[in-house]
Amino acid sequence: MRILVVDDEPQVLEPLVDLLAVFGYRCTPMSDPHEAADFCATHDFDLAIVDYSMPGMDGLELARRIRSVSPGTPVVILTAFGETFFRRQEREPEVAAVLQKPVGSLHLRAVIQRVVPSEPRGSKES
């Protein structure tokens, strides 16, 4: 399974990618949401996990852009905001799930298994 992981904070991005690798997922880490949106136009991912609060573009806008070029890719948003934020964002059609930071490893894995279709999509590249 290929996962795009986008977070502007290396201290969050790197451990998250390491954890996902332990679960056996192939990750593409990116720190710039604009670059990530462009990258999705030429690469398929089975899932995108994106931070909500990033400079230049928030996670919801990134989710919209990812889904516009890859409608079948579920997007999970990670946030440090509280319950009110959760309830509002979970109603967005572009968002498969919203998880509050720090997210537990077992909870993260369960959410991934719930939101990702069983058949991996792979890459648009040959």
Q: What would the pLDDT profile of 63-95 be if each residue is shown by its tens digit?
A: 999 999 999 999 999 998 865 666 666 677 888
The Cα 34–Cα 117 span in angstroms is: 26
Residues 56, 105: Cα–Cα separation, whole Å: 28
Q: Which CATH architecture has domain 2-115?
A: 3-Layer(aba) Sandwich (3.40)
Percent pLDDT > 90 in the chain is 73
What does the alpha-carbon distance between residue 84 and residue 93 come to, in Å, rounded to a whole number? 17
DSSP three-state, residue 25? coil
| Pair 81, 98: CB distance under 8 Å | no
pTM: 0.89
Q: Is the pLDDT of residue 22 over 90?
A: yes
pLDDT at residue 124 greater than cutoff 50:
no
